[in-house]
Amino acid sequence: MNKRKDETPAGGDLFGAPAPAPAKRPPAKAAAPAADDPLAGATGVGAIDGIRCGIGGWTYAPWRDNFYPPKLVQRRELEYASRQLSSIEINGTFYSAQKPATYAKWAAQTPDTFVFSLKAPGRVTQAGALAKATAQARAFIDGGLAEFGERLGPILWQLAPGRRFDADDLAPFLDALPRTLDGRALKHVLEVRHPSFLAPQYLQFARERRIATVFTDSDEYPSLADITGDFVYARLMRSRAQVATGYPDDELDAWARRAQAWARGEDNPDLPHVAEPTSAGAAREVFVYFISAAKHRNPAAATRLIGKLRGD
């Protein structure tokens, strides 16, 4: 069969000569942010001596008046918040688990100095017997959390206020939680909300399993600063609307000192305890979140605490 006049042999010209190698294009350079871009020059905070500070969530309309810059579009709010704070507690997963692609998208918007904590679904922790919810808990973890990679921080298991301490129900649940995911250690933390947990029996139970317990600074829920795990997780819920930074400066100074003591492996005897404060141990990671109360002030509280930890 005769070749058409316009048919060129692959890899050469009409006479069979080899085609010249295509010119190499220089690698594309990332576009420099515009001078008026709110994220220009923002690289992230990261842990300060093992301490991370943050807030709950990143989508909240009042934050657009006092935390997010005026020109920032809503789709970039996580991108901005993750460069001002070192962690964010995701509350949305309490109501519904997300698709793996969503977790991957969130992770991609944050700097590599940042980590998320995730509140486990309420359908797992707040309905029925925990001993029967192990498969649901595993499905949540295996349902895409690996997409966070190094940005996956603690997983918060928040119990309902009406759930009493029942070792026979709680033990099978906690014992079934996976301790690793794709070769990375998982951090599990339990938030207890019934006074029956304010007992030495619970402390022994949690310490045997090395499960951290949330320190909740609130009058509404049990508050125990007893160390039961390998890291500390504090949820501070006393921000005030009349204070621009949520907390007066002297109170933030006190929280900076407490966070530093926890990070050094020490205890804080001035906080509520069930048992005697423990003696100094190994250094720990510390996660401090400003949650609820005067929510519109919480980003200011977190950024101010970060400044104090830096020595600003």
The conformation of residue 232, written as its DSSP 8-state character, comes to E
How many angstroms separate the CA atoms of 49 and 77, rounded?
26
Q: Is residue 95 part of a domain?
A: yes
Q: Could you list the mean pLDDT of each consecutive 10-residue stretch along the chain, which spans 312 residues?
A: 42 44 44 66 89 98 93 95 98 95 98 98 92 96 98 98 97 97 97 98 98 96 96 98 98 99 97 92 96 96 98 88
Closest CA to 156 of 93, 81, 227: 93
Please give the model's pTM, rounded to 2 decimal places: 0.88
The conformation of residue 47, written as its DSSP 8-state character, comes to -
Phi, psi of 132 (to 5 degrees): -100, 5
Q: Report pLDDT digits (tens) over 161-198.
A: 999 999 999 999 999 999 999 999 999 999 999 999 99
Q: Is residue 88 part of a domain?
A: yes
The confidence score (pLDDT) of residue 213 equals: 99
Q: Are 224 and 165 in contact (CB under 8 A)?
A: no
**Amino acid identity for residue 289 in this structure:** Y
Q: Is residue 253 part of a domain?
A: yes
**CATH assignment at residue 142:** 3.20.20.410
- Sequence-distant (≥ 6) Cβ neighbours of residue 185 within 8 angstroms: 179
The confidence score (pLDDT) of residue 39 equals: 83
Q: Is residue 13 part of a domain?
A: no
The confidence score (pLDDT) of residue 33 equals: 55
Sheet holding 152-158, edge to edge: 212-213, 188-191, 152-158, 115-119, 87-90, 51-56, 285-290, 231-236, 215-217
Q: Is residue 196 part of a domain?
A: yes
The conformation of residue 242, written as its DSSP 8-state character, comes to T
Phi, psi of 158 (to 5 degrees): -95, 115
| Tokens at 126, concatenated | 């707040």
How many angstroms separate the CA atoms of 258 and 236, rounded?
12
Q: Are 305 and 256 in contact (CB under 8 A)?
A: yes
Q: Is residue 209 part of a domain?
A: yes
CB atoms within 10 A of CB 260: 18
Q: Are 17 and 251 in contact (CB under 8 A)?
A: no
CA separation (Å) from 153 to 108, 115, 156, 203? 15, 5, 10, 23
Q: Is residue 252 part of a domain?
A: yes
The confidence score (pLDDT) of residue 196 equals: 98
> Domain total for the chain?
1
In the block, tokens 């947990």 appear at: 197
The confidence score (pLDDT) of residue 7 equals: 40
C-alpha distance across the termini of the chain, in Å: 81
* Bridge partners, residue 288, by sequence: 53, 234
**Amino acid identity for residue 266 in this structure:** E
The confidence score (pLDDT) of residue 5 equals: 41
The confidence score (pLDDT) of residue 101 equals: 98
How many angstroms separate the CA atoms of 177 and 136, rounded?
10
The confidence score (pLDDT) of residue 57 equals: 98
Q: Is residue 261 part of a domain?
A: yes
| Tokens at 263, concatenated | 């990070």
State the residue range of the domain holding 58: 51-310
Closest CA to 233 of 212, 210, 255: 212
Q: Report pLDDT digits (tens) over 9-56.
A: 444 443 344 445 444 444 344 344 566 787 877 788 999 999 999 999
- Helices of type H across the chain: 63-66, 77-84, 92-95, 100-108, 122-125, 134-142, 167-176, 200-209, 249-264, 298-310
Closest CA to 246 of 223, 222, 217: 217
